Amino acid sequence: MDGSTNLQTVWDTIYEHYGINVTSESLLDYDYVSVNINDGEAYRQFFDRLLPHAWPKGNIIVDGINSGPTVEQMSIGLMNFIAMDWLQKINPQLMNIVITEYSRELRENI
């Protein structure tokens, strides 16, 4: 492997190594719905593997539609949905535990 000339290629290599570099091609092989936690995988690493499915890179072309040169922006609402899916995939009972244990904080938007 040649030496890196910029920070983005370093991040691209890391993302590819940990399986979180999602492209149009990889979405066909590894869709969001079928992503599950791997044995021994840290919960945060699992969450990081889910995020790119909703946060694609720029210049992705799907059915002739180009996302453009800029990366789509992640919204708080979309990240909340990913976090809820993440909890559900870890353990279906985890959502109710979070609701019970953090009900006051959730009500007060903390």
Chain segment 32-66, per-residue pLDDT in tens: 778 889 999 999 999 988 887 766 566 777 677 77
Confidence at residue 16, expressed as pLDDT on a 0 to 100 scale: 72
Tally of CB atoms within 10 A around 12: 14
Confidence at residue 90, expressed as pLDDT on a 0 to 100 scale: 93
CA distance 84 to 51: 12
Quote the pTM value: 0.57
Average pLDDT over residues 70-77: 71
pLDDT > 70: what percent of the chain? 72
Confidence at residue 29, expressed as pLDDT on a 0 to 100 scale: 55
